[in-house]
């Protein structure tokens, strides 16, 4: 009888050890899959940093977003890997938004009310228009959400509208000066008669 009880206890211990070993194996396999994905994602980040041109960086960003979306829709997706993808993508998008910020700042005219050169204003306005077109074309990839895109779009449009108002004011001032000059000439001709 004692042998049967001891045999049952040994069998139960072996079963428990087998089940525990199975779960440890699954956990180890899952962690290996996560580590492999992390290495792949880090490699993508390194490729992005080493890219020679902006177009290459944009292509890498596009591929990474597509890869993340495909991964997230798969049955084997894991939260840790999805979060790592999101983190790397946000970092890449940050590079593009910093570039947009620098371009906008470069084409923002300080003390606009004192600028008299219409060519300077028109050139800055044209550059802002090109930046807006670039942002519109890239918004699906370079912004994390629609709200951020809208903020940039609104900022650029407001700048261009202020430039338009300044151009109108300069034109009105020129017309007023020409009218005053013409009236002075007319007055002089009338006085000479």
Instruction: Give pLDDT, residue 157.
Output: 94
Compute the distance between CA of residue 69 and CA of residue 169 in angstroms, rounded to an integer: 50
Structure tokens at 29: 């396999």
Largest interatomic CA distance in the chain:
144
Compute the distance between CA of residue 139 and CA of residue 150 in angstroms, rounded to an integer: 10
Residue 89 neighbours by CB under 8 Å, 6+ apart: 61, 64, 65, 68, 144
**pLDDT-flagged residues of the chain (< 50):** none
Instruction: Give pLDDT, residue 156.
Output: 94
Which DSSP helix (H) or strand (E) runs through 183?
A: helix 146-192
Instruction: Give pLDDT, residue 6.
Output: 80
Instruction: Give pLDDT, residue 41.
Output: 86
Compute the distance between CA of residue 118 and CA of residue 116 in angstroms, rounded to an integer: 6
Instruction: Give pLDDT, residue 191.
Output: 66
Structure tokens at 11: 């069998």
Which DSSP helix (H) or strand (E) runs through 55?
A: helix 54-73
Instruction: Give pLDDT, residue 164.
Output: 92
Compute the distance between CA of residue 40 and CA of residue 38 in angstroms, rounded to an integer: 5
């Amino acid at each position: 009888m004692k042998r049967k009880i001891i045999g049952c206890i040994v069998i139960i211990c072996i079963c428990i050890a087998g089940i525990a070993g199975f779960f440890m194996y699954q956990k180890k396999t899952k962690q290996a899959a996560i580590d492999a994905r992390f290495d792949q994602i880090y490699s993508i980040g390194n490729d992005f940093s080493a890219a020679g041109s902006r177009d290459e960086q944009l292509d890498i960003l596009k591929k990474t977003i597509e890869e993340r979306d495909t991964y997230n829709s798969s049955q084997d997706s894991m939260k840790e890997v999805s979060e790592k993808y999101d983190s790397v993508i946000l970092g890449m998008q940050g590079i593009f938004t910093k570039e947009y910020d620098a371009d906008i700042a470069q084409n923002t005219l300080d003390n606009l009310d004192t600028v008299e050169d219409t060519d300077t204003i028109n050139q800055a306005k044209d550059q802002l228009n090109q930046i807006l077109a670039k942002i519109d074309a890239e918004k699906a990839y370079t912004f994390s959400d629609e709200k951020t895109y809208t903020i940039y779009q609104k900022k650029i449009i407001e700048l261009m509208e202020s430039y338009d108002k300044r151009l109108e004011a300069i034109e009105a001032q020129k017309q007023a000066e020409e009218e005053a000059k013409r009236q002075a000439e007319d007055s002089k001709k009338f006085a000479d008669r």
